[in-house]
């Protein structure tokens, strides 16, 4: 029996020197004990031609899903290629974009409640600033995203341990249209127990 999240879900081709070598792709799925997410990842893999496509497909149901191919330096060059699939996870920023003052921002307390925010972020959330203040971040998740609340809490726990977090998220507006956003959280950046989040829209990969 193939272990959950591991196995040749599909075939891919990798160019090595002058030849084409057929390699299986094995998925490593986290959390390991989330059987439903593991099954959905395997099913989505059958129709995905790249890691970015698999992430995009999974985010239809799991808005914080992240798919990362194994880094080249860790690839032995034989056996299946490996993609790491997370129901939620941090991102790897290529630049310190959040240092620019033009991006939407918010200040959150220790319970993830908005204590201050920019009007540009309110426009993304689609609610007046006054309505957002005092509410938790997950209060504005779309009801069509049933895992969003749990995933936000899990990412918040990562943030509390590390003191900083950069992550991406598929945000579904109330009218059903979708945006990909990236956000950067810094603990106590606006004072003790006041954590600053900076947000930007990003283009979809793949």
Which structure tokens are listed for 97? 């974009």
Tell me, what's the pLDDT at 68?
Answer: 86
Per-residue pLDDT at 111: 96
Q: What is the pLDDT of residue 130?
A: 95
Q: pTM value?
A: 0.71
The predicted pLDDT at position 12 comes to: 42
CA 186/CA 193 separation, integer angstroms: 11
**pLDDT tens-place string over residues 112-155:** 999 999 999 999 888 899 999 999 998 887 777 888 888 999 99
Walk me through the domains of the chain, giving residue ranges and CATH numbers. Answer: 8-86 (no CATH), 97-201 (3.30.450.20)
**Number of separate helices (H) and strands (E) present in the chain:** 5, 9
Provide long-range contacts, Cβ within 8 A and 24+ apart, for 36-41: 37/62, 37/87, 38/4, 38/5, 41/5, 41/85
pLDDT at residue 180, as a whole number:
82
C-alpha angle 161-162-165 in degrees, rounded to nearest 5: 120
Residues of the chain under the 70 pLDDT cut: 1-23, 73-75, 94, 174, 203-206
> For 85-96, how does the pLDDT look when each residue is reduced to its tens digit (9 = 90+)?
988 877 777 678
């Amino acid at each position: 029996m193939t272990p959950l999240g591991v196995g040749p879900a599909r075939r891919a081709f990798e160019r090595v020197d002058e030849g084409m070598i057929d390699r299986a792709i094995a998925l490593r799925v986290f959390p390991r004990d989330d059987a439903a997410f593991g099954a959905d990842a395997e099913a989505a893999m059958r129709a995905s031609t790249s890691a970015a496509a698999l992430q995009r497909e999974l985010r239809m149901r799991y808005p914080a899903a992240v798919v990362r191919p194994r880094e080249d330096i860790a690839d032995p060059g034989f056996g299946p290629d490996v993609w790491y699939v997370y129901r939620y996870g941090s991102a790897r920023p290529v630049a310190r974009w959040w240092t620019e003052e033009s991006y939407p921002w918010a200040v959150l307390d220790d319970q993830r409640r908005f204590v201050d925010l920019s009007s540009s972020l309110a426009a993304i959330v689609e609610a007046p600033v006054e309505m957002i203040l005092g509410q938790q971040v997950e209060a504005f998740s779309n009801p069509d995203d049933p895992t969003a609340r749990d995933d936000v809490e899990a990412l918040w726990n990562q943030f509390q341990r590390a003191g900083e977090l950069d992550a991406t998220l598929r945000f579904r507006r109330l009218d059903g249209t979708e945006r990909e956003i990236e956000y950067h959280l810094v603990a106590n950046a606006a004072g003790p127990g006041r954590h600053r989040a900076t947000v930007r829209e990003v283009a979809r990969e793949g």
